[in-house]
């Protein structure tokens, strides 16, 4: 391997705010390896809404900050302690990871956060699928309670008859993953999307019904589709703009999983509103489902198998140069995207 440089390029946030605070730097220090860590030269970095939350200060983090939560690339250095715990992680091995500080040429991560990319899966797809794919997979398993598709007697969603599932922003990165996985598990999936093009993409992802949120009354249409029953589970990454409608559309004993704030955070909730239909309200977070090495390994293995088998596909909206991360954030926040956004390092 080539010698490890002392400095690198990357994106640094020194104060919170708009996209202008994403500063391109060429003199950042390459991180030093700690116990149990590997050094990864990033090739592709995933862009996610959570990145915008740290940029704006909605989620707090010490500054200055190199943000970014997922990437894929090649191992360029391994701490000696790693050789005894996971000898498969060697220099030159391609890996994908979900960890902090990905908006840079090189990132130091705990070795147990890395997953070797299997043969047959390209680095770009691995980077594009990991965070949102793991989010969708854990939510389908843990929040919605669906067992693996081949498990007998476990195609029921939640506790009520159905199963009906609603995914907001079904043409987006996480939304498209959720739709595909729910459909693969036998759920009757309704997707919402904005405009004809995005509705077509949601349909292509596996949503049996698609409601245009820009031209249709979503609540009325969902009630019509479900025969007045409502949906057993709602996956809402939009937040503030859709929450009240969610309470109207959810079925009795249904589960409402609010996992994002694309339109702003949901205001404080009067829990008495949940009582009329015994609604279960959740705020699931991927990272609380993959705390242990075993959890991360099991879910990552299953995700890669789904990708290799073609049961889940990743649509990439655009690959931006790392220097143009501000444009990527603007496109994402402006709801101009359909699919995954990547940064090329």
Express each pLDDT in 164-207 by its tens digit: 999 999 998 899 999 999 988 888 999 999 999 999 999 999 99
Number of domains in the chain: 2
Domain co-membership, 203 together with 252: yes
Residue 85, domain member (yes or no):
yes
> How many Å apart are CA 229 and CA 183, to the nearest integer?
19
Secondary structure class of 145 (helix, strand, coil)? coil
The partner residues of 8 in beta bridges, in order of sequence, read 28
Q: What is the CATH number of the domain that holds 292?
A: 3.90.180.10
Domain co-membership, 55 together with 120: yes
Can you give the pLDDT at residue 312?
A: 92
Can you give the pLDDT at residue 184?
A: 83
Q: Which one of 262, 283, 304 terminates a domain?
A: 283
Q: What is the CATH number of the domain that holds 223?
A: 3.40.50.720
Ranges of residues in the chain whose predicted pLDDT is under 50: 150-162
Domain co-membership, 34 together with 122: yes
Looking at residue 172, the DSSP 8-state letter turns out to be: S
What is the domain range of residue 221? Answer: 158-283
Domain co-membership, 119 together with 236: no
Domain co-membership, 125 together with 186: no
Q: Answer yes or no: are the C-beta atoms of 107 and 101 closer than 8 Å.
A: yes
DSSP β-ladder status, 37-47 and 209-212? unpaired
Can you give the pLDDT at residue 5?
A: 87
Residue 147, domain member (yes or no):
no
List the structure tokens of 175: 């939304």
Can you give the pLDDT at residue 337?
A: 83
Can you give the pLDDT at residue 173?
A: 87
Can you give the pLDDT at residue 156?
A: 43
Secondary structure class of 237 (helix, strand, coil)? coil
List the structure tokens of 31: 């991180």
Residue 144, domain member (yes or no):
no
Domain co-membership, 335 together with 247: no
The partner residues of 255 in beta bridges, in order of sequence, read 233, 280
Can you give the pLDDT at residue 2?
A: 66
The partner residues of 231 in beta bridges, in order of sequence, read 250
Residue 153, domain member (yes or no):
no
List the structure tokens of 110: 């705990």
């Amino acid at each position: 391997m080539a010698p490890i440089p002392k400095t690198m390029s990357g994106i640094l946030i020194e104060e919170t705010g708009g996209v202008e605070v994403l500063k391109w730097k060429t003199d950042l220090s390459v991180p030093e390896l700690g116990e149990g860590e590997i050094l990864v030269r990033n090739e592709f970095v995933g862009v996610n809404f959570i990145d915008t939350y740290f940029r704006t200060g909605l989620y707090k983090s010490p500054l200055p900050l190199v943000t970014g939560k997922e990437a894929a690339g090649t191992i360029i250095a391994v701490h000696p302690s790693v050789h005894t715990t996971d000898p498969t992680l060697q220099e030159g091995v391609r890996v994908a990871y979900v960890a902090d500080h990905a908006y840079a040429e090189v990132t130091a991560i705990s070795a147990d956060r890395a997953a070797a990319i299997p043969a047959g899966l390209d680095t770009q797809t691995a980077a594009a699928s990991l965070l949102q794919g793991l989010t969708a997979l854990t939510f389908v398993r843990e929040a919605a309670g669906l067992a693996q598709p081949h498990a007998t007697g476990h195609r029921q969603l939640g506790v009520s008859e159905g199963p009906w599932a609603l995914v907001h922003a079904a043409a987006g990165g996480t939304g498209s993953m959720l739709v595909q996985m729910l459909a693969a598990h036998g759920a009757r999936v309704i997707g919402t999307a904005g405009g004809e093009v995005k509705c077509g993409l949601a349909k292509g992802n596996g949503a049996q019904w698609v409601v245009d949120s820009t031209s249709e009354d979503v609540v009325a249409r969902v009630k019509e589709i479900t025969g007045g029953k409502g949906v057993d589970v709602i996956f809402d990454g939009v937040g503030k703009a859709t929450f009240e409608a969610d309470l109207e559309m959810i079925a009795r004993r249904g589960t409402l999983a609010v996992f994002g704030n694309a339109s702003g955070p949901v205001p404080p909730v009067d829990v008495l509103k949940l009582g009329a239909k015994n609604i279960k309200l959740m705020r699931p977070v991927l990272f609380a489902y993959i705390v242990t090495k075993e959890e991360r390994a099991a879910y990552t293995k299953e995700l890669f198998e789904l990708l290799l088998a073609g049961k889940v596909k990743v649509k990439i909206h655009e690959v931006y140069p790392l220097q143009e991360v501000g444009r990527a954030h603007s496109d994402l926040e402006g709801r101009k995207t359909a699919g995954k956004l990547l940064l090329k390092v």
